[in-house]
Amino acid sequence: MKKNFLISIWFTLATALLFGIIYPLVVTGLAQVLFPKQANGELIRKDGNLVGSHLIGQPFTASGYFYSRPSAAGTAGYDPTASGGSNLGPTNKALIDRVNASVQQLQATNPNVTVPVDLVTTSGSGLDPDISPASADFQVPRVARERGMSEHDLRAVVANHTKGRQFGILGEPRVNVLDLNLDLDTMHPRR
């Protein structure tokens, strides 16, 4: 009995050491060596100040900026400590009302054009930094007008920020909203 008790104590300590300390340190070390940018959050700095991350979305509400997807992460959205979807089903009245209100608001700025679904629906994480090229294209007239740019020139900037499928097969083409807006601030400041 005493022997079994000691074996269980030693096994508990050994597994705690192995999986609680050694394994996390090895994985963290490998991540830092193999993927240092991603392991550190792909942070974006402008003039020495931290402005965001390539991996986490943030809200843009000013008219001269491309809007991100809506977020259900936290009460105000875009809270990285409360990542998750809204858990509202497709027949939920609150979801239907929110989506309809968003569609009406967006169509007011770009009438007679179908609003892309990712501009009015949240993602599973609530923190997606990207929108579809269709969502970016939908916003081009509004942003071009606010920045005093031609739509053609702005579409070229969007095309430069459009990334294809990962490894050519995974996911969908996407545009990182923060990268695009920062580039626009540098190249074509708002009026």
More confident position, 176 or 77? 176
pLDDT at 191 over 70: no
DSSP 8-state code for residue 18:
I
The burial class, CB within 10 Å (0-12 / 13-18 / 19+), for 189 is exposed
* Residue 142 near residue 99, CB atoms below 8 Å: no
Predicted confidence (pLDDT) per residue in 28-44, tens digit? 999 999 999 888 888 88
